[in-house]
A and B are shown apart, each in its own frame.
Chain A
């Protein structure tokens, strides 16, 4: 049995090594992803790998090594320790916890490794965040909704996982916007755990208990579920609700002419982070040091917004892609370079 195990693993390894031994890399960058529950994360990694490949044209070999699996927080700390053991130049991580990586990032920095988190901010002073501002993301959807409602009406919110930092920031974002509109009333807020089916169920319940809803603020894939309930109830013409960025929804949005608007958290954030990382490894200095955000270590990327004005463009970008493909954007190498001195 022991031999069998070895044989199996050796087979996997041989295939992998023959693929990766092609050229010695100028830079080796480790990508860590601690959750594989959505296509968004898969797309995030694929875009980062493509971004690394694009550096070949610029005369750089950027090799990426990836650890992506459903892990608990200690499991993702192990990802980082594996990267340190392997001696990578930089680590780009979509972290499972905002605070839990402080000690291990300190170790990485001691080993001379650049650490960048993306998609979710981290508190570590030894890391940098390159991604969108989740508070602004939440606010952008709320601004659109407030305008769509002419500044008055009853609004409900369907949120993600209680206690998840990105969720709390998004909630703070929409609350700060609605506060500015005295005639907009938040009549109910529920959690549907970023799950499309739970979002649909939550919307059904909300429609049953609050028949006078004018607007819905809902995040990510739950929006597709919520819209399904709104359409089933025959209220698609009366309700304005935020949307999401997957092709399936963009198609539905176009076909049904929904009154919707979507903040974009593009899966390209990791690719953007990778391009920034390479310039930092080159020793280049940022024009504006990354000091934004609650942890004073963030560099925020622009947040695209899809509404009826540019829906056709968005539909064109995702045309021909599978239904789960997300509308995306990332800093190109040149755009990233423009951020540096």
Chain B
């Protein structure tokens, strides 16, 4: 399991207590496993290898977007344009691949350009929020409209197919293991390495107490911009997964994902006020949302109640996470 950098409050003795403090994502992990078991009870095939592969294939993008959002939330900021960045990168890489043809080189070039586009969007957000000191929630709402406009300019209407090389890789297998499992493993390694750098710790320090961080000599503005930049890059990775799973460009594909990514962050035990949390928790949070959506259907909820039950279930998961965390900490 990955260990995350957390600005831990002073440690107190006690086994479980210390454990939860060191691994704030544990409640999310427990809830996720419970939901997985419930899914398995109501629809055994949903927890078969095929079912789990499908689950990860579908929600890989949301997991990555939740990670993206977490880096921003660490510093007490928020990014309402994350979904729009996904849309923009999606249409950019599909447009690039369409113009360069179906080959390995064209796919790699498109991904490099896509990462650049995501990074650029993130830096724009960072500058607007941290350097110009606009309120993050409104400023990124505005940039989300701007990025959506750019996406519509690149591709006015959904439709251009992605080359087969791209989505067959995403949906295929390497050495008999589904590609998405490799991607998940790679993500785990990247998150582990990032957690060991000082970036995460600095973001958490800014989120915990921006004034204090500034007074202790941290470049607060630069750190916040870096948080948004990381968010942009991970949003671009999320866009790669969307493109792999949908095999096409759609200028509106990511719009609705933004709020889900924020929900996943909170479900994962990260504080929206900043200063406390883990990226691993957000990954579990994304899976919790996915598993709830499936479970609501598998238990046979009538269609007119599905939205309501889904919302309630997410609330229950949220409360459960808090209760588990509190009992362990008390």
Which chain A residue lies CB-closest to B160? Answer: A99
CA distance A35 to B157 in the complex (A): 19
CA distance A74 to B260 in the complex (A): 11
The A interface, classified by DSSP as helix, strand, loop or mixed, is helix
Check A22 for interface membership: any CB of B closer than 8 A.
Answer: no
Task: Give the interface residue-count category, chain B.
Answer: 35 or more
Known: A104-B245, A164-B157. 8 other contacts (CB 8 A): A9-B299, A45-B303, A67-B306, A69-B306, A72-B83, A81-B55, A85-B54, A99-B249
- Tell me the total A-B contact number using a CB cutoff of 8 A: 171
Closest 7 CB pairs of A and B: A16-B300, A99-B248, A100-B246, A13-B299, A66-B303, A72-B256, A68-B303
CA distance A254 to B294 in the complex (A): 45
Cβ proximity bits A88-127 to B, threshold 8 Å, 1 near / 0 not: 0000000001111111100000000000000000010000
Shortest beta-carbon distance, B235 to chain A, in Å? 14
CA distance A10 to B298 in the complex (A): 11
A sample of 26 cross-chain residue pairs with beta-carbon separation below 8 angstroms, ordered by A number, consists of A1-B320, A2-B320, A5-B313, A5-B317, A10-B299, A31-B303, A65-B297, A72-B254, A72-B256, A72-B260, A78-B58, A78-B290, A82-B43, A82-B294, A82-B298, A85-B50, A97-B158, A97-B253, A98-B250, A99-B160, A102-B161, A102-B167, A102-B247, A103-B167, A103-B247, A164-B157
- With A13-B42, A77-B245, A85-B51 as known contacts, state yes or no: A100 contacts B253, CB within 8 Å: yes
The answer to whether A100 and B257 touch across the interface, beta carbons within 8 angstroms, is no
Which residues of the other chain, B, contact A78 by a CB distance below 8 angstroms? 55, 58-59, 290, 293-294
- With A9-B38, A97-B253 as known contacts, state yes or no: A16 contacts B58, CB within 8 Å: no
CA distance A161 to B158 in the complex (A): 12
Which residues of the other chain, A, contact B8 by a CB distance below 8 angstroms? none
Which residues of A are interface residues toward B (Cβ below 8 A)? 1-2, 4-6, 8-10, 12-13, 16-17, 19-20, 31, 33, 36, 42, 45, 65-75, 77-79, 81-82, 84-87, 97-104, 123, 161-165, 168
Which chain B residue lies CB-closest to A75? Answer: B293
Which residues of the other chain, B, contact A67 by a CB distance below 8 angstroms? 297, 303, 306
The answer to whether B307 and A69 touch across the interface, beta carbons within 8 angstroms, is yes
Interface residues in B266-317 (C-beta closer than 8 Å to A): 290, 293-304, 306-307, 309-310, 313, 316-317
Shortest beta-carbon distance, B33 to chain A, in Å? 10
Which residues of B are interface residues toward A (Cβ below 8 A)? 30, 34, 38, 42-43, 45-46, 50-51, 54-55, 58-59, 61-62, 83, 152, 156-161, 167, 171, 242, 245-257, 260, 290, 293-304, 306-307, 309-310, 313, 316-317, 319-320, 323-324
Which residues of the other chain, A, contact B34 by a CB distance below 8 angstroms? 2, 5-6
The answer to whether B159 and A98 touch across the interface, beta carbons within 8 angstroms, is yes
Which residues of the other chain, B, contact A85 by a CB distance below 8 angstroms? 43, 45-46, 50-51, 54
